[in-house]
Amino acid sequence: MTSTPTEKAKRIIEHYGVSHQLVKLCEECAELTQQAVKCYDAGIEYSYSLVEEMADVKVMLMQFESIMLPEDREILEFIIAKKLNRQIGRIENENRRFEETPRESREN
């Protein structure tokens, strides 16, 4: 019997097959997009429906990660860290530019 979430994800993708689950991933991403738009239009940060669709997409991603080679999972983690660091760098640059802008320019 499978016990860990990773083992369960692997069992699911091995049962249905990668091609089928790629289609499901597309469907789940589309549903997540729809819920994100609804939240945006309603002016809210998130809803139960958005959280549910986030979980669906995360489960699909877990399935694909479960069949990746260990070195490819390391590459994935490296890329994620690189993207997070790049965005933090952008935020820090925005803050520096704001701090360097003369106060009178910001008030106009």
What pLDDT, in 10s, does the model give residues 52-76?
A: 999 999 999 999 999 999 999 999 9
Write down the pLDDT at residue 57: 98
One domain, residues 33 and 76 = no
Write down the pLDDT at residue 55: 98
Question: CB-based contacts of 16: which residues, under 8 Å, 6+ apart?
Answer: 24
CA dihedral 39, 45, 48, 50 (to 10 degrees): 60
- pTM of the entire structure? 0.84
Quick check: 58 and 22 in contact, CB under 8 A?
Answer: no
| Span 10-38, pLDDT tens digits | 999 999 999 999 999 999 999 999 999 99
One domain, residues 40 and 82 = no
Residue 1 clears pLDDT 70, i.e. is over it = no
One domain, residues 60 and 82 = no
**Reported confidence tier of residue 108, pLDDT bands at 50, 70, 90:** low
One domain, residues 32 and 75 = no
Residue-number span of the structural domain to which 17 is assigned: 1-67
The tally of domains found in the chain comes to 2
Write down the pLDDT at residue 16: 98
| Span 75-106, pLDDT tens digits | 999 999 999 999 999 999 998 887 777 777 66
One domain, residues 8 and 51 = yes
One domain, residues 61 and 97 = no
Q: What is the Cα–Cα distance from 95 to 11, expressed in whole angstroms?
A: 46
Residue 104's CB is within 10 A of a number of other CB atoms, namely: 7
Write down the pLDDT at residue 106: 61
One domain, residues 10 and 39 = yes
